[in-house]
Structure 1
Amino acid sequence: MEDLKKNQDWKSKLHEIIYEADTPEGKLFDVVLLVAIIASILLVMLESVESFDAKYHSFIDIGEWVITILFSIEYLLRIISIKKPTKYIFSFFGIIDFLSTVPKYLSFVMVGSHSLVALRALRLLRVFRILKLARYTGASEKLILAMKASKAKIAVFLFFVVIVCVILGTIMYMVEGAENGFTNIPKSIYWAIVTLTTVGFGDIAPQTPLGQLIASIIMILGYAIIAIPTGIVSSELTKSTLHEDINTQSCPTCLKDNHKKNSGFCYNCGSALN
């Protein structure tokens, strides 16, 4: 019984270090992990430079193997430290961790597959835990709720923009004609979209005074249109009343995070939190 308790305590401590960032050990673990990820990505980038790879190939290869072994150990520890390993294995981060570790091993049988270790860049998403940005998760949820609440208004706005582009594109086709690059209405609508969004590739440009006047109006209208969706979302944000403090605790059973401060149990599965 005592051995079972010690085993549970060991796993609980390991889970706290690996999956959470509220302790010095957890912060240190994640910082070391981030440094290793960045170092791995830099090695892959440098290897793609032929002159650098020719000179330092052995160093790069050894460095990649050291980091790959570290990531392999980390992957196994993540599986060991939770009650239901499949929850991690088939989670977003679990799949990314696996995909970012396997390519180096595959390089034995598949030439060039090691380049896929660039997938490790996705693991930098863990930086949010290191920087203690979990406290701002409430704000991000507020933004998501505001966008959901304003989706109908934004849809109507986008429909209006499409109609404006169709009308203006058709007018420009009539004014400029094929001799000035506006060979058909779809191409003219494409020009209107590019101009309205203030991108302006310059592959098609009006040549007549009237066409240039219309283009000027479209460009000015584009700046005005940018502010509309911003105003819609901002309006919904002011109505939001979500004010919840959230910590970095992760459930040892289902891996759900974003728990409220001082929570004793997981909001998803009800398991006790560490």
Structure 2
Amino acid sequence: MIAWLCGLVGEGPFPSRRVVAYQAMLVLCIVLSTAIAIIDTVPDAWVGFEGAVTAASGLFLAVLSADYAIRLLSAHSQRAEGESGLAAMVRYALSPYGIFDFLAVVPFLVGEATTVLPHDGETVFGIVRFLKLARYSPALETLGVVVLHEMRPLLASLFIMLILAISASTMLYFAERAANPAMGSVPAAMWWAIVTLTTVGFGDVVPITALGKLLGSVVAVLGLCMFALPASILASGFAEEMKRQNFVSTWHLVAKVPFFQRLQASQIAEIAGLLKLARAIKGEVLMREGDTGECMYFIVNGQVEVKGKAGTFILKNGDFFGEIALIERCPRTATVKAVSRCQLLILDARDFHKFVAHDHALLEVIWETARARMAQAKQVEKKDDQKSEEKEDA
């Protein structure tokens, strides 16, 4: 039972249906409980619905509390070698996600037990609960990684912006102090410099002298240039990180294929570079039984139905099919149809043969694995035929 519960909070690129359902339930509880905390700040928002809102809040708190307990159990059961269970639980509790999970439930539990949590505290922690969604948002996680990787150039651009703000406020102070009381000191002029450099321009403080307006124009143009710098750093870093993540996931998809398991990492990476992205709509037939195979498919997301002599079964995220086409041009042994919208990666047999043509050792490794796999498949097919004949005779 504990193992089954811990499996609900397991993370991986291809989660099971029960894990997906559990995550969807948690996301719904987080969103609704946060919405209640926000709307609760509106006076008399729940008139006539106080009981229902209280019951819903209690239900959400129970679900999120159970999730926190399950994650503590999971950390205890998946502790590293030589690590005590308590140390593993503390390590999880002090991690960023562990802190978010703690803030989402523990302050409320303490408040319910002791009635010491004021209404404002419930509002704050209820909205902070939204941070739990960071675990289920790949975009936020990717952004965090990008910021960490690009920290040095970001800090450099921040330092340059601080220099500009101080320099601009100092210049405007000397140019405007005699005629403009709003810039009678450097700190007062710094407010104008910040809102100008950020291109906000509230207009509550403006230069009034000719020299001040000239300097203000220069500062405004510099502000446009300066904010393009961190934006470009984050944009390029985000694009590089997405490219890296796509490459890693594609590499793992290729490495799962039995033909390629004995290849070196660099060779798998080269094969991954040959893959082409394709999409299929629900009901679309990807290949038919009897057609000549010319490519193999990797399922990035979605599900397909495979119907052939071996029966009918479903393939989903991370699976592959049609790999025999890379070895020999033979008829397909099954019909494959998309049962949902699918994103696929296709490896064309011609591209694959061009890749292996110059490396006979690589070709021999793939052929050796392919022969063994095809022989195994023929043995299974032969046994199935024998069983069918025995049933007919009986």
TM-score (norm 2): 0.50
Match of 1:107 among 108, 112, 122: 112
Match of 2:129 in 1: 120
Match of 1:78 in 2: 71
Shift of 1:29: 0.5
The total of aligned residue pairs comes to: 233
Correspondence 1:245 to 2:232: no
Give the 3 Å change call, closer, same or farther, for CA 229–18 of structure 1 in structure 2.
closer
Match of 2:57 in 1: 64
Q: Are the aligned partners of 1:168 and 1:189 in contact in 2 as well (CA < 8 Å)?
A: yes
- Larger radius of gyration between Structure 1 and Structure 2: 2
Correspondence 1:172 to 2:165: no
Q: Are the aligned partners of 2:97 and 2:135 in contact in 1 as well (CA < 8 Å)?
A: no
Deviations 1:85-142 (A, max 9, x none): 33333333233223322333313522425433333111111222xxxx39x9779746
* Matches of 2:24 and 2:223, distance apart in 1: 43
Shift of 1:47: 2.6
Amino acid at match of 1:195: T
Deviates more, 1:22-31 or 1:81-90: 81-90
Give the 3 Å change call, closer, same or farther, for CA 238–78 of structure 1 in structure 2.
closer
Deviations 1:51-83 (A, max 9, x none): 223322111111111111222222222223341
* Matches of 2:200 and 2:148, distance apart in 1: 27
Match of 2:40 in 1: 47
Shift of 1:37: 1.0
Alignment identity in percent? Answer: 25
Q: Are the aligned partners of 2:135 and 2:141 in contact in 1 as well (CA < 8 Å)?
A: no
Q: Are the aligned partners of 2:146 and 2:237 in contact in 1 as well (CA < 8 Å)?
A: no
Deviations 1:191-221 (A, max 9, x none): 2233122122322111123322221222122
Shift of 1:236: 7.3
Match of 1:185 in 2: 186
Deviations 1:217-271 (A, max 9, x none): 2212211222234455677789999565259xxxxxxxxxxxx7779xxxxxxxx
* Matches of 1:231 and 1:170, distance apart in 2: 28
Shift of 1:27: 0.8
Match of 2:96 in 1: 92
Correspondence 1:27 to 2:20: yes
Q: Are the aligned partners of 1:176 and 1:182 in contact in 2 as well (CA < 8 Å)?
A: yes
Shift of 1:34: 0.5
* Matches of 1:87 and 1:227, distance apart in 2: 39
Deviates more, 1:45-54 or 1:213-222: 45-54
Larger strand share, 1 or 2: 2
Match of 1:16 in 2: 7
Deviations 1:28-58 (A, max 9, x none): 1000110011111122223332222332211
**SS of residue paired to 1:81:** helix
Match of 2:274 in 1: none
Match of 1:200 in 2: 201
* Matches of 1:71 and 1:103, distance apart in 2: 12
Amino acid at match of 1:71: L
**SS of residue paired to 2:184:** coil
* Matches of 2:31 and 2:239, distance apart in 1: 38
Q: CA RMSD in A?
A: 3.5
Give the 3 Å change call, closer, same or farther, for CA 61–229 of structure 1 in structure 2.
closer
TM-score (norm 1): 0.69
- Structure 1: gaps spanning 5 or more residues: 1-9, 248-259, 264-274
Give the 3 Å change call, closer, same or farther, for CA 75–190 of structure 1 in structure 2.
closer
* Matches of 1:57 and 1:140, distance apart in 2: 39
* Matches of 1:23 and 1:47, distance apart in 2: 36
**SS of residue paired to 1:100:** helix
**SS of residue paired to 1:53:** coil
Larger helix share, 1 or 2: 1
Give the 3 Å change call, closer, same or farther, for CA 11–194 of structure 1 in structure 2.
same
Match of 2:333 in 1: none
Amino acid at match of 1:87: R
Structure with higher RCO (Cα < 8 A, 6+ apart): 1
Q: Are the aligned partners of 2:207 and 2:213 in contact in 1 as well (CA < 8 Å)?
A: yes
Deviations 1:166-186 (A, max 9, x none): 443333223222432221233
- Structure 2: gaps spanning 5 or more residues: 78-84, 257-394
Give the 3 Å change call, closer, same or farther, for CA 149–246 of structure 1 in structure 2.
farther
